[in-house]
Amino acid sequence: MLILVANLGSTSFKYRLFDMTDERCLARGAVDRIGESESSCSVEIGDWTEERTMTVPDHGVAVAACLEQLTDAEHGVLKDASEVAAIGFKAVHGGRISGVFQVNDDVLDAMAEMNAAAPAHNPPYIAAMKTLRERFPDLPLVAAFETDFHQTIPASRKEYAIPREWADGLHIRKWGFHGASHRFIATRSAELLGLEDARVISCHLGGSSSVTAIQSGKSVLTTMGMTPQTGLPQNNRVGDFDPFALPLIMNETGMTLEEVLAELASRGGLLGLSGKSADCRDLEEAAAEGDEGSQLALDVYVQEIRRHLGGMIVAMGGVDAIVFTGGIGEKGADIREGVCRGLQELGIAIDDKANQSLRDEGTFHSDDSRTQLWVIPTNEELIVARQTTAVLNQKA
């Protein structure tokens, strides 16, 4: 069974094609600047790569361009586009529905109800799904919601202290996100540790970051709440923020609520703290040259990770492994060192040399550390491919 996994942005379409008989990734590619006068299309199939420009007005045309590359007579891996069994989407917020579903009108309606909670994610997914249903009516579309992995979190850790009717009627609770990534880490870490009941803290650190406590393969606590805007400081999103500061900002600046929220979602986080960049690499370089704002941004980011780390260790009564994944988690040796520094009393001890030299999956804890420290590259697309396959098999 061949599954195409799609990761959408408002003007982008990234994909991977999996053969689920052995879970091999047969191809990957991307279409950028959708809707502009000139879009770029790239594909990688084995040793063959191609980049070209064309006009791509919408996501439906982007998928058609992708399928054209995959069926290329000389280099393609498909004889015909009909070989693709389904397209799986790493969907974000479904509110009243959380799981894995074949896309229908009710799924699209549920996503639309959460547009205000996920304004950067839900609208482009909804638009793309509607376009693809029209252009490819016989091709099943499957939405794998990021909130699904966190459904096992106990109520005491996912409810806000708000009026009951808001929680029940408006679906306001700590939903959690990055579910595909944390699910992959849960599966892979259990394999590496040889423990089905392992207590693992998964640190997905990148442009968007979250930390999740995993016990016996299940999410039991996570940092993101009602929306992907919350939790740790993000690259340009605020993270946790006191809502009672909003009236003050509005009164002093004359901005509307919508304008303030837009600023917090685009000029907050590491960008807001530093005043320079949302990229940790830029911040580390600037901090090394003495820029105080950049150093502050890095310090706040690390301290917030450590704050949640401590709470998760208490929640699980200890920790067997801490895993770092995502672009920063996998490549940011200094961030990893900052998170793990000075925690020997908690049984967490780092091997500095191993940490600095680690380039792929592997450990960087010292010999006397009771807690294992890992870097594990995530594979969100494979998780979505597995979930999509399971939905198709249920309907077979």
Give the residue ranges of the annotated binding site for ATP.
14, 279-281
- Binding-site entries for Mg(2+): 7, 380
Biggest alpha carbon–alpha carbon distance for the chain: 63
How far is 356 from 361, CA to CA, in rounded Å?
13
Alpha-carbon span 8 to 264, nearest angstrom = 22
DSSP 8-state secondary structure symbol assigned to residue 152:
G
Q: At what angle do helices 105-113 and 122-135 cross, to 10 degrees?
A: 160
The CA–CA distances, whole Å, from 2 to 90, 125, 384, 396 equal: 17, 22, 13, 15
Would you tell me the crossing angle of helices 292-316 and 280-288 to the nearest 10 degrees?
120
Q: Which residues are annotated as a binding site?
A: 7, 14, 279-281, 380
Cα torsion for 314, 317, 320, 325, to the nearest 10°? -30
The three-state (H, E, C) secondary structure of 296-333, written as one string: HHHHHHHHHHHHHHHHHHHHHCCCCEEEEEHHHHHHCH
DSSP type of residue 272: H
Which run of H or E residues covers position 34? none
Q: Which tokens in the block code for residue 68? A: 């054209």
